[in-house]
Chains A and B, each alone.
Chain A
């Protein structure tokens, strides 16, 4: 079983639609959770962190369910510029070091069309 699993899609939605991505993780010791965005032929960039209480950034809402080991990302009023691959990312603390290993899901492809 993969440590972080996402539906790879692709999701094809019209402008203005609401779309939701789901992600599950297997390691219950996971500490921090993120969504990264990767545009075609570009590097990944942090979109937002995911907090236990849920958090919102404009049209984007992220939620975490620790009991079910489940993370979600909701995009409202989709724009053409939202077309990208969305990566679910999980961090597990690595003992006493200052490093926490990040594990990336394989990504969910979103295409927003006119």
Chain B
């Protein structure tokens, strides 16, 4: 059974703190993603990685950075947390797209981050 795990389900941090969100997948997937999900806005891509040490900006990378030192692990870093980063953060992984094959992303359970 495929599995994506995230380090915390709930997290409360103070403004200005450095925050690390960890994601681990056990499916040997090349691609990994970080999204945030907010009411009325849906899922928005923050960053993704298609290989170890590779990263690409998504639609809303400002205020975030990422690290992928090992294939199974993808970390999201909030350098200085702000209240507008209060959100649900979802990690996902997938195989690389080839041809017209199904391109399913498997999601972790999410981390609800509150910045006060």
Which A residues have a C-beta under 8 Å from some C-beta of B?
8, 31-32, 34, 42-46, 49, 87, 91, 93, 97-102, 104-107
Contacts and interface: CB of A to CB of B under 8 A. Distances in A.
B43 A45 contact: no
Contact of B97 (A87, A99, A104): A99
Is chain A's interface secondary structure helix, strand, loop, or mixed overall? strand
Nearest to A91: B103
Contact of B43 (A31, A49, A104): A104
Contact of A43 (B40, B98, B107): B107
A93, A100, A102, A107: most-surrounded residue (chain B CB, <10 A): A102
10 contacts: A43-B107, A43-B108, A44-B43, A44-B90, A87-B42, A97-B50, A98-B30, A98-B97, A98-B98, A99-B56
Interface residues of B, number: 26
B102 interface: yes
B100 A32 contact: yes
Interface string B49-76: 0100000101000000000000000000
A46 B100 CA distance: 16
Is chain B's interface secondary structure helix, strand, loop, or mixed overall? loop
For the complex of A and B, the 4 pairs showing the least CB-CB separation, nearest first, are: A98-B96, A106-B42, A43-B107, A104-B43
B42 A104 contact: yes
Nearest to B43: A104
Contact of B103 (A32, A42, A43, A106): A32
Contacts of A45: 107
Contact of A44 (B56, B96, B100, B107): B107
Contacts of A105: 42
B104 interface: yes
Contacts of B40: 8, 106
A98 B96 CA distance: 5
B97 A43 contact: no
A31 B41 CA distance: 23
B41, B42, B50, B56: most-surrounded residue (chain A CB, <10 A): B42
Nearest to B51: A98
